[in-house]
Amino acid sequence: MGIIKDIFKEHGPAYLEQYGQAMPHGHKKVIRAIIACKTDVFGTSVYTCRDCNSTEYIPLSCGNRHCPNCQYQKTRKWLNRQQQKRLPGPHFMITFTVPAQIRDFIRSHQKKAYSAMFAASSQALKKLAKDPRHIGGDLPGFYGVLHTWGRQMQFHPHIHFVVAGCAFSTKDMVCHPAKNDFYLPIIPLGMIYKAKFKDLMRKAGLLDQIPSSAWKPDWNVNCQAIGDNDEYANQYLATYVFKVAVTDSRVKIDDKTVLVTYKKQKSNRQRTLRLAPFEFIRRFLQHVLPWGFMKIRYYGFMHPSCSLALDKLRMRISLAFRIKVIIKPCKQKPKPVCKRCGGTLVFQYFIPPMPGGLNGLPAG
Q: What is the mean pLDDT of residues 82-95?
A: 87
Q: What is the mean pLDDT of the chain?
A: 90
pLDDT at 14: 96
Q: Tell me: pLDDT of 251 over 70.
A: yes
Give pLDDT, residue 85: 83
Tell me which long-range contacts 333-336 makes (C-beta under 8 A, separation of at least 24): 333/76, 336/47, 336/56, 336/58
Q: Is the pLDDT of residue 259 over 60?
A: yes
Q: Does position 74 have pLDDT exceeding 50, yes or no?
A: yes
Question: Mean pLDDT throughout 220-244?
Answer: 77
What are the pLDDT digits (tens) for 279-294?
999 999 999 999 999 9
What mean pLDDT comes out for the span 78-95?
86
Contact 163, 92 (CB under 8 A): yes
Average pLDDT over residues 33-44: 91
Predicted local confidence at residue 79, as pLDDT: 80
Residue 139, C-beta contacts closer than 8 angstroms, at least 6 positions apart: 167, 168, 169, 170, 300, 301
Q: pLDDT higher for 97 or 89?
A: 97
Question: What does the H/E/C string look like for the chain?
Answer: CCHHHHHHHHHHHHHHHHHHHHCCHHHHHHHHHHHHCCCHHHCEEEEEECCCCCEEEEECCCCCCCCHHHHHHHHHHHHHHHHHHCCCCCEEEEEEECCHHHHHHHHHCHHHHHHHHHHHHHHHHHHHHHCCCCCCCCEEEEEEEEEEECCCCCEEEEEEEEEEEEEECCCCCCEEECECCECCCHHHHHHHHHHHHHHHHHHCCCHHHCCHHHHCCCCCEEEEEEECCCHHHHHHHHHHHCCCCCCHHHEEEECCEEEEEEECCCCCCEEEEEECHHHHHHHHHCCCCCCCCCCEEEEECCCCCCCCCHHHHHHHHHHHHCCCCCCCCCCCCCCCECCCCCCEEEEEEEECCCCCHHHHCCCC
Buried b (16+ CB within 10 A) or exposed e, 240-262: ebbbbbbeeebbeeeeeebbbee
Whether 363 has a pLDDT exceeding 50, the answer reads no
Residue of higher predicted confidence among 73 and 157: 157
Q: Give yes or no for residue 73 having a pLDDT over 50.
A: yes
What's the rounded mean pLDDT across residues 292-300? Answer: 94
Using the predicted structure, report yes or no on whether residue 55 has a pLDDT greater than 90. Answer: yes
Q: What is the pLDDT of residue 201?
A: 98
Q: Which comes out higher in pLDDT, residue 355 or 347?
A: 347
Question: pLDDT band at 133, cuts 50/70/90?
Answer: very high
Q: Is the pLDDT of residue 334 over 80?
A: no
For position 364, what pLDDT does the model report? 47
